[in-house]
Structure formats: structure tokens, C-alpha cells
Structure 1
Amino acid sequence: MKIGEEAPDFVLRDQNGEDFRMSDFRGKKVLLSFHPLAWTGICEKQMKALEENYERFESLNVVPVGISVDAVPSKKAWAEHIGLKKLRILSDFWPHGAVAKLYGLFREKEGFSERANVLIDEEGKVAFFKVYPIREVPDLGEILGLLKA
């Protein structure tokens, strides 16, 4: 995906089984935080960082969400386990990795997504796109700095 490109629309279920439709958030920015798998340490740190900064994102008109290929029941148990109260984590389980594929982030060999942050602007266009090393927690400072600029 390139900056300024139209972000693909999609519908995924969150950890509570509720639909999240990307196009429903026009007028707000959306941070799609792709992570490989639930129940892993680096992914836990990535989602907890989003939860801890949730109010900061809200104050900047941003809806942060996590996305991985895990099934809804696994996402629900994991969200409860790591103490997520506000952050929605989306299940890209079936068709397996379809949204990660739409965004060019699916790793066929491993069967999960890259670790990446994609910021979509109010008009549904890509404003920020970065893939991180799989063993590295994404730097939210990059996103927050961009949003404040």
C-alpha cells in the first residue's frame, strides 16, 4: 500500500463477535495494528500499548484496532487475559488472512500477517504504512508524532 491510496474496505468481527466495518469510520482516522498471533509476548506488548494510549488516540480522532488471523473465541479469551477494556481486536480468521492479503501484509509461508501499522485518514486513504521486524514492538511514537504534526 502507498500513502494516499484508497484503503480497502472490509468487515471483520471483534473479540465480542461484533462487526467492524472500515467504511463506517469515515470522518475519523483508523489505526490498523496488524500483529501475527494472539498469545505471544511481542503481540501482547503491541496490543497493551494501544490500550494504554487509547485515550490519546481518541483525543486525536483516531480509532485504534488490532488485527490478527486468530479466531474470535481466541481473541476474546486473549483480550480478557491481557486486560483489554477498550481496544477492539479483530479476527482475520476466515477467509484466512483475507484483510492482511488486501493490505499486502499476509505471510503465506507462516500463515499470518506481518507486524505493521497502517493509519487510514478521515477520507479512507492511507496516511501511514510501516512494516516492522516481526520480533519488534511497533513504535507508537511515530504515529502519535505524525498525528500531532
Structure 2
Amino acid sequence: MGNRIAVGDMAPDFTLKDNRGNMVNLAGYRGQKVLLSWHPLAWTGVCAEQMKALESHYARFEELGTIPLGLSVDPYPSKNAWAKELKIARVKLPSDFWPHGEVAKAYGLFREEEGFSERTNVILDAEGKVIWLKVYGIHELPDIEEVIKVLEKF
């Protein structure tokens, strides 16, 4: 695993296909805050709750000028089927599938042994700089209220 990204770092840019097959380019969101919500694998319980929390708080993210993105190493057709199952209609779920985990590696969040990312929330400011980051236990559900409180401060 490379060096983990830290507060104050510029976030590595990326272009990934989202769950609907559309390209998501991080630099395209300059001028808005971005929440990169990394989850290990689709079709698992805690990950489902993490992504559903992004969807259910979408209007709040909009009020806070923030784009939430749910990233994982799953292929985009799988993420799309999963999003439909979870009724995720607004949040984009970029696929870091190929080259496998390349973006997670760039952020220092890839777990080589398991082949997936850490469960992590990374908040970027309007210039693309990391202003907050938290790594969670693999089976720990991130507290969406904590994330929103951080966004309210910036």
C-alpha cells in the first residue's frame, strides 16, 4: 500500500465509470466539496448501509455544496444492479475495478491482501484538497452525522 493521503494533500485526480456507465472525473467537481466514501465491497451489509446513508442524506449534501461519491473496486455492472436493489437513484457509485483498485492505491487506501479498499470517508474542499479523512474498521458503519457536521464547518 502506498502512502495514505492526508489532510492538506491535493487529492489525486481520477476518471472512473460510475454504476450507470457514465464517466466521473474528480476535477470536474472543482468549485464544490466532494465526499469520497470508500466501501470495501458491494452486496455486503455494512457497505449497503453506508451507501444508503449517502442517498438518504442527498438533499443535505446538496445544501452543503457537496457531491457524495460511493467508491469501491466492484465492476460497474455489479454496482448498478446493487444500486437498483438499494434504491440508490441520485448518488453516483464510481467503479475502481480496472486497473484493479488503481484509484484506491493512489490514495493509499488499497488493501493488497484482500484486494479491496479500506472503508474510508475523505472530504475534499472546492479546490480538491483533503480537509478531512477517517478510516473505519472494515465492519464499522461510518457515522453520516459526523460527516455532515464536518461539512457544515467548511
How many aligned positions are there? 149
Question: Which runs of 5 or more residues in structure 2 are unaligned?
Answer: none
Structure-1 separation of matches of 2:134 and 2:70: 15
What TM-score results when the alignment is normalised by the length of structure 1? 0.98
Question: Which residue matches 2:37?
Answer: 33
The one-letter amino acid paired with 2:120 is A
Structure-2 separation of matches of 1:78 and 1:86: 14
Indicate whether 1:15 and 2:26 are aligned.
no
Question: Which residue matches 2:95?
Answer: 91
Question: Which residue matches 1:121?
Answer: 125
Q: Extract structure 1 runs of 4+ deviating beyond 3 A.
A: none
The one-letter amino acid paired with 2:12 is P
State the shift of 1:146 in Å.
Answer: 1.4
Indicate whether 1:148 and 2:148 are aligned.
no
Indicate whether 1:77 and 2:81 are aligned.
yes
Indicate whether 1:56 and 2:25 are aligned.
no
The one-letter amino acid paired with 1:120 is L
Structure-1 separation of matches of 2:107 and 2:25: 15
* 1:74-100: CA deviation from partner (whole Å, max 9, x where unpaired): 011000011101011010000000010
Structure-1 separation of matches of 2:152 and 2:86: 29
Structure-1 separation of matches of 2:86 and 2:23: 22
Identity across matched positions, percent = 56
Structure-1 separation of matches of 2:25 and 2:54: 19
Structure in which a larger fraction of residues adopt strand: 1
Structure-2 separation of matches of 1:8 and 1:117: 15
